[in-house]
Chains A and B, each alone.
Chain A
Amino acid sequence: MTESHDHAHELVNVPDDAVVNDLYANPGIPEHQWRPTDVDPKAEKRAERQVAALFGLSALCTILLLVSYFVFDIGDDPDVVGGLGASNLFLGLSLAGALLFLGIGIIQWARKLMADHEIVEDRHPAASSTEDREATIAALNAGLEESGIGRRPLVRNSLLGAVGLLGLPAVVLLRDLGPTPNQVKNSGDYPGAGIEHTLWKKGMRVVRDVVGTPIRPGDLEIGDLVNAEPEAIFNGGADGEPLEGVALQIGKSKGAVVVVRMEPDEITPGKGRENWSVDGIVCYSKICTHVGCPISLYERTTHHLLCPCHQSTFDLADSAKVVFGPAARPLPQLPLEVDDEGYLVASDAFDEPVGPSFWERG
């Protein structure tokens, strides 16, 4: 992109000077003002010393940086100074000093000691000269003409078709980035596979998050909220081992629930959900129906559950209907019952997919 314009190639397509300023004649570039460092050898020496001192300070900071690197421990006790960590603090400050003094020194040098005469340079049009442009267009036309691309539509169109088709492999080759939703559902690679499924099924115990202990209705007082998981998280692996790795993460991302106890008469059961609660204990998916954040900010007096990501609010006493925010659907409800040993279990799986909406969800 070098400039090969001849000087005859003038800038014409700009607002004319006389139009831009028809009120005053251009007074021209102001006279150059000499700086003290230009005329006073003492000031010049002083500036020289200032610049050198700044470079010296920079070097000093670099040495401090190296010293800090070896002197300050990291690891077990990272909060030695001001909650920042001595190593981080001193490495950072000395690095900052080394760089800032260097930068300030160079700029001081430029401002005080380098020539400060303003220079005028002519502009040239971004466009090439007319001759150049005509020559190029002629060359382009000659080339196109000789290729015959305009005269041979059969060649041209088949070429375009062939090249266009090459776009397909670029897409198709990405196919194996992942399985399709159906493949996952049918694979059964891990328990609860598939976007419509979770680990929950009839008789699955509702156990406390993290510790995995089962819950008796009597463990919960009115107003309590418990973060819970399907028991399969803790015993769903091969040979009853806890799930781990991908299966664990996926299991949690769909299976997490909240269990809440309220006065039974405060609950407005949904149609066909009259027997889904046990003694005022209800269970809902913890995964927001908006974009999938786990929800657990519970206000016990109003029974409202708020999503901390985008503030969708659900009324747990009323089938977890949306009372505020961008979510469009209630949280899916998990029907509860009590098993022979008196622990809360699911009386069935979720009757709809949990989490954010998707096209084929229905």
Chain B
Amino acid sequence: MDTTKVAKTNATTAATAQKPNRAGAVAGWADERLGLATAMKKNLRKVFPDHWSFMLGEIALWSFVVLLLTGVFLTLWFTPSMGEVQYNGSYDQLRGIHMSEAYASSLRLSFDVRGGLLMRQMHHWAAMLFVASMMVHLLRVWFTGAYRKPRELNWVIGCLLLILGTLEGFTGYSLPDDLLSGTGIRAADGFVKATPVVGTYMSFFMFGGEFPGESIIPRLYIVHVLLIPGLLLALIGAHMLLLVYHKHTQWPGPGRTEKNVVGFPMLPVYAAKAGGFFFIVFGVTALMGALLTINPVWKYGPYDPSKVTAGSQPDWYMGWPDGALRIMPGLETHIWGITISWNVMLPILILPVVMFTILLLLPFLDAWITGDKRDHHLLERPRNAPTRTALMVALMTMYGLFWIAGGNDIIAIKLHASINQITYFLRVAVFVGPVIAFVVTRRWCISLQRKDNDTLLHGYETGIIMRSAEGGYTERHLPLPASRAYSMAARDRDPVLDGHDVDEVDANGIPAPTGGRLAALRHRLRTVWYADNVQKPTPAELEEGHHHAEHEHELQAPVEGHAADGHQFDGHHLVEDEHLRSH
């Protein structure tokens, strides 16, 4: 019985309910004004599943917060102006040199503001972490099938975040107006000018006249500190809201199904772990800022359009289109008094757009080919979707080869190789490499599927070699623990393709009229998608496998109870009823 409301005294004032604790009081005050209790009721103890790979997106989130914090610090001193000044700061080697205010204020931040260099380096390292963790997070989401319905739109938002993050990086490292970043803008001017019809106009509008002018730095600055960060913030907000609404995907396992989510509550465990992880990401960037020099603009000198340094390269995430640009043959069409620069247009203006469009459409492509319209909340192991895994590995290979091409000069120097031959090799490799990667990955996945089946049917390898009475040797297999076996077997069977598309069969089982060329293409793709996949054992096969194992056990019966070899205690199964050899 609730006794708190019972009067405790005989005084004349009315009895009141026991005072709530302090957190409750604050929550009450807020709820009377904001009415958040209804929304918070479920969310405060919202369950998040645990897995190390779910941390990758978190790195991206926290490094973005670090970028905001360090970026605000930098804006307090940085002057986004191309006005010419004479440098009179602390850095001896450049004193007296004429340079833009942007470069001079970058030097001031590095040498005359305490903690300025640290913040600059942390900002740059956090930007690297931001883009890198987004990419690895994207790979995790793809390889585990987490992008499937109902999460396709969050994939699209994630892709937009990736491209915006990349642009944010480019606009950011262009701001100091040093020789390296100016060279990057110089090349960007060349890209813009290669645009058909309107190229020169776009270039003149961008630079406020002829390159380099004095408008580009202030314009890039406002894009860098307001426009793109605003979009990033909004999209990150949407990304997180959808994450909360859909609830996080989880790995299949004991007690974990498509219809539930198992893990720790947001308050306190997940809030503490995620909050603590923010400080760890922040701390690691501080460590990098302290120990690892990045973008030492004072060594490059101010931008001068008649100078360049050897080994000029963009930041790593811009490397792959730069690589495509390097290995592209010099094709240009001169016709009817116009010039079409295929050598710039194809690798820089068209290829990235095509690649990005493919990336955006991947979930929809997958859904269209497989025809799978169900919701998916359980993740799949990469091996259990060989074509999906191989597709991304092929794209990664292509990316990697373009990226290598972006460093062909450095590779030539470090490996004492011919830059010409590296370039000729890569021209072919960017097309052949992905195909090889696709085939190898696919077969690799299928082999792993076979191995899983063997483990399910015959148990795991114990490493114990048995000698039979006849002198033959066999390795002893033991069944997996129930939870491991359950997790391993928790996957869908591929749909049966018997020549007819499942969708194209009407209620009476009569094949519908073929849907034309598109349907035929889809059917062919679907056949390829599932081709050669190994299905998990059927219940009958499993039954037989276990029967076989029992038979084997009988053969080995004489040694049962004498297994004092220690292998029972390898952590793979329970040992409660097993005893060490007593004789």
- A residues with a Cβ closer than 8 A to B are 1-3, 11, 13-17, 19-24, 26-30, 69, 74-76, 78, 83-85, 87-93, 95-100, 102-107, 109-111, 114-116, 118-123, 125-127, 174-175, 177-181, 184, 193-195, 209, 227, 229, 244-246, 248-250, 252-256, 286, 290-297, 308-312, 322, 324-329, 355-362
Cβ-defined partner of B47 (8 Å) among A121, A177, A246 = A121
Whether a CB of chain A sits under 8 angstroms from the CB of B557 is no
B290 touching A84, Cβ below 8 Å: yes
Q: Are A123 and B247 in contact (CB under 8 A)?
A: yes
* B199-A107 in contact (CB<8A): no
Give, as a whole number of angstroms, the nearest-CB distance from B69 to chain A. Answer: 11
The answer to whether B332 touches A357, judged by C-beta atoms less than 8 angstroms apart, is yes
Q: Tell me, yes or no, whether B230 is within 8 Å of chain A by CB.
A: no
Of B163-171, B458-466, B480-488, B526-534, the one touching chain A: B480-488
A interface footprint on B377-388 (CB within 8 Å = 1, 0 otherwise):
110000000000
Given contacts A178-B209, A184-B209, contact A126 B245 (CB under 8 A): yes
Nearest-Cβ distance from residue B47 to partner chain A, whole angstroms: 4
**How many Å lie between the Cα of A195 and that of B192 in the bound state?**
14
Q: Which residues of B contact A209 (CB under 8 A)?
A: 306
Beta-carbon contact of B338 and A359 below 8 Å: yes
Q: How far is the CB of B242 from chain A (nearest CB, A)?
A: 8
**Which listed residue (B191, B196, B283) contacts A96, Cβ 8 A?**
B283
Q: Tell me the bound Cα distance from A193 to B211 in angstroms.
A: 11
Across the interface, which residues of A come within 8 angstroms of B523, CB to CB? Answer: none
B197 touches A359 (CB 8 A): yes
Contact B409 A308 (CB under 8 A): yes
Return chain A residues, CB-CB under 8 Å to B92. 76
Taking a contact as CB atoms under 8 Å apart, the answer to whether A118 and B204 are in contact is no
- Asked whether, in the complex, the Cβ of B196 is within 8 Å of the Cβ of A359, the reply is yes
Chain A CB within 8 A of B195 CB: yes
In the complex, chain B residues 248-273 whose Cβ is within 8 Å of any chain A Cβ? 252, 254-265, 268-269, 272-273
Known: A95-B118, A121-B247, A229-B306. A2 touches B39 (CB 8 A): yes
CA–CA, A329 and B194, complex, Å: 14
Other A-B contacts than A296-B308, A311-B326, 19 sampled, CB-CB below 8 A, are: A27-B482, A28-B254, A69-B114, A74-B90, A74-B114, A83-B293, A104-B276, A121-B261, A122-B260, A126-B150, A126-B245, A209-B306, A245-B214, A250-B212, A293-B312, A326-B326, A358-B341, A359-B196, A360-B338
Could you tell me if B289 and A291 are in contact, using CB atoms closer than 8 angstroms? no
Residue pair A103, B290 in contact (C-beta under 8 Å): no
Minimum distance in angstroms from B258 CB to a CB of chain A = 4
Q: Contact at A92–B289, with CB atoms within 8 Å?
A: yes
Residue pair B111, A114 in contact (C-beta under 8 Å) = no
B312-A91 in contact (CB<8A): no
> B200, A174: Cβ atoms under 8 Å?
no
Report yes or no: A358 in contact with B111, Cβ–Cβ below 8 A.
no
B102 to chain A, nearest CB (A): 13
Q: Per-position contact with A for B45-78: 1 when CB-CB < 8 Å, else 0? A: 1110000000000000000000000000000000
Q: Complex Cα distance A23/B489, Å?
A: 7
Complex Cα spacing A290 to B329, Å: 11
Is B2 part of the binding interface, using a Cβ–Cβ cutoff of 8 Å? no
Q: List 30 A-B pairs, Cβ < 8 Å.
A: A15-B376, A20-B491, A21-B252, A23-B537, A24-B489, A27-B255, A30-B254, A74-B117, A76-B92, A84-B293, A87-B117, A93-B291, A95-B283, A103-B276, A106-B276, A107-B280, A110-B276, A114-B272, A119-B263, A121-B260, A123-B377, A125-B150, A180-B201, A293-B187, A310-B322, A326-B326, A327-B343, A328-B332, A357-B344, A362-B334
Minimum C-beta distance from A273 to chain B (A): 19
Query: Which residue of A13, A69, A99, A356 contacts B374 across the interface (Cβ within 8 Å)?
Result: A13
State the interface size on chain B (CB cutoff 8 A): 140
Tell me the smallest distance from the CB of B68 to a CB of chain A, in Å: 15
Q: Which of B118, B373, B539 has most A Cβ within 10 Å? A: B118
Contacting residue for A99 out of B208, B254, B279, CB 8 A = B279
Shortest beta-carbon distance from B458 to chain A in Å: 14
Complex Cα gap A26–B111 (Å): 63
Q: Which residue on chain A has the smallest CB distance to residue B213? A: A246
User: Does any Cβ of A come within 8 Å of B433's Cβ?
Assistant: no
Q: Which residues of B contact A74 (CB under 8 A)?
A: 90, 111-114, 117
Contacting pair A293 B212 (CB below 8 A): no
Docked Cα-Cα span, A327 to B326, in Å, equals: 9
Question: CB-nearest residue of chain B relative to A3?
Answer: B42
Shortest CB-to-CB span from B437 to chain A, Å, is: 25
B215 adjacent to chain A (CB < 8 Å):
yes
Enumerate chain B residues within 8 angstroms of A359, measured Cβ to Cβ: 195-200, 338-340
B536, CB-defined interface residue at 8 Å:
yes
Asked whether B325 lies within 8 Å of A99 as measured between CB atoms, the reply is no
In angstroms, Cα B323 to Cα A325, docked, is: 12
Q: Is B38 an interface residue (CB 8 A)?
A: yes
Let me know if A119 and B483 touch, CB within 8 A. no
Residues of B contacting A29 in the complex (Cβ-Cβ under 8 angstroms): 254-256, 262
Contacts A26-B257, A181-B201 given: A116-B269 contact, CB under 8 Å?
Answer: yes
Bound form: Cα–Cα A356–B160 in Å: 30
Residues of A within 8 A of B98 (CB): 244
User: Which residues on the A side are within 8 Å of B308 (C-beta)?
Assistant: 293-296, 308-309
In the complex where A107-B273, A114-B272 touch, is A356 in contact with B265 (Cβ < 8 A)? no
Output the least CB separation between A116 and chain B (Å).
7
Residues of B close to A325: CB separation below 8 A: 326, 330, 423
Tell me if A326 and B325 are in contact (CB < 8 A).
Answer: yes
Nearest chain A CB to B409 CB, angstrom units: 6
CB–CB B204/A181 < 8 A: yes
Q: In the bound complex, how far is the Cα of B339 from the Cα of A296, in angstroms?
A: 26
B241 at the interface (CB under 8 A from A): yes
